[in-house]
Amino acid sequence: MITIWGRANSVNVQKVLWGCEELNLPFDRIDAGMQYGRNNESGYLAMNPTGRVPTVVDGDFVLWESNSILRYLAMQYAPHNALYPSDPKTRASADRWLDWSLSTLQPAERPVFWGYVRTPAAERNAAQLAAAASETEKLWRVIDTHLKDRDYLEGNAFTLADIVIGAYARRWFGITELVRPALPDLERWYIGVTQRAGFQRHVAPALS
Ligand SMILES: N[C@@H](CCC(=O)N[C@@H](CS)C(=O)NCC(=O)O)C(=O)O
């Protein structure tokens, strides 16, 4: 049985939970991080010296970094599954979205999410939030353009790229105070990913 350490409202944990659902992998989840603590205890730090969530334990194998975990689970438990394509060009193309999501999208969208969802309205800095939202919007425009004439981010099937970008899209579309431009191809794709059981179970719940 796979054990996933991490609170259920963490986007990086949600990606892994959604991935398990796509792969039909049973797992146990243990709350850790923020109000649950545990991630700064020595036992946890021995597994994951970064003190961040998620961490996955699979027998005697321990792994942290959400996108690496997703790749591992797909390779280990469904090597021929389209989720992580075996064709090198399609795989590399999917991988670049995983890399881009952590290097570029998350740093841009984090202040927007924290500002609107985890900061009381009276304490928000409106100018900073507007600037952060505008930077994030530019990135969603990149994806909107990429999705023109495509059902999925890469190849002809749903892949890990759709999971990682879909998890952040849930935050972009879920913040009611945001004024979003019409991005029709992004919206069409997003409606598609919201239909998946793993999204509905682990990513759709209220932002917190
Ligand atoms: N790049 C890491 C980021 C991990 C990360 O920053 N996780 C956040 C939650 S999304 C965290 O641990 N926050 C501290 C906490 O929950 O206490 C990953 O993708 O796994």
Instruction: State the DSSP H helix or E strand holding residue 11, giving kind and residue range, or none if neither.
Output: helix 11-22
Specify if 83 maps to a domain: no
pTM attached to this predicted model? 0.97
Report d(CA 113, CA 118) in Å as an integer.
7
- Which of these three, 22, 46, 77, is where a domain ends? 77
- Quote the CA–CA distance of 56 and 23 in Å, as a whole number: 15
Report the C-alpha gap between 6 and 55 in whole angstroms: 7
pLDDT one-digit tens code per residue, 70-99: 999 999 999 888 999 999 999 999 999 999
Rounded to 10°, the helix 66-77/160-174 angle is 140
Give the max Cα distance, the chain: 51
Enclosing domain of residue 152: 88-201
CATH (domain of 9)? 3.40.30.10
Instruction: Judge if 7 and 94 occupy the same domain.
Output: no
Res 174: pLDDT: 98
Q: From 12, 71, 109, give the residue whose CB has the most ligand 1 atoms within 8 Å, as the site to mutate.
A: 12
Per-residue model confidence (pLDDT) at position 205: 98
Distance (Å, rounded) from C-alpha 84 to C-alpha 161? 9
The verdict on 21 and 104 lying in the same domain is no
Q: Residue 103 domain-assigned?
A: yes
Between helix 66-77 and helix 11-22 the angle, nearest 10°, is 10
Euclidean distance between CA atoms 205 and 7, whole angstroms = 13
Q: Are residues 195 and 131 in the same domain?
A: yes
CB-ligand 1 contact for 11 (6 Å cutoff): yes
Residue whose CA is closest, atom 13 of ligand 1? 52
Is residue 177, in this structure, part of any structural domain at all?
A: yes
Number of domains present in the structure of the chain = 2
97 and 154 both lie in a single domain: yes
- Shared domain for 144 and 42, answered yes or no, is no
Q: What is the pLDDT of residue 80?
A: 86
Domain shared by 40 and 133, yes or no: no
Residue 207 lies in a domain: no
Of 29, 53, 168, the residue with max ligand 1 atoms within 8 A of its CB, to mutate for a pocket test, comes to: 53
CATH of the domain at 170: 1.20.1050.10
73 in the same domain as 117? no
My answer on whether 93 and 179 are in the same domain is yes
Domain check: are 95 and 35 in the same one? no
pLDDT, one tens digit per residue, over 106-149 is 999 999 999 999 999 999 999 999 999 999 999 999 999 999 99
HEC states along 149-180?
CCCCCCCCCCCHHHHHHHHHHHHHHHCCCCCC
For ligand 1, whether the C-beta of 34 sits within 6 Å is yes
Residue ending a domain, among 77, 110, 133, is: 77
Taking alpha carbons only, the member of 180, 168, 183 closest to residue 193 is: 168
Residue 69 lies in a domain: yes
Do 95 and 61 reside in the same domain of the chain? Answer: no
Could you tell me if 104 and 163 lie in one domain?
Answer: yes
Burial class (CB in 10 A: 0-12, 13-18, 19+), 105: buried
**126-146 and 106-117 helices, crossing angle to 10°:** 130
Tokens of 153: 């981010």
Q: Is 101 in the pocket of ligand 1 (CB under 6 A)?
A: no
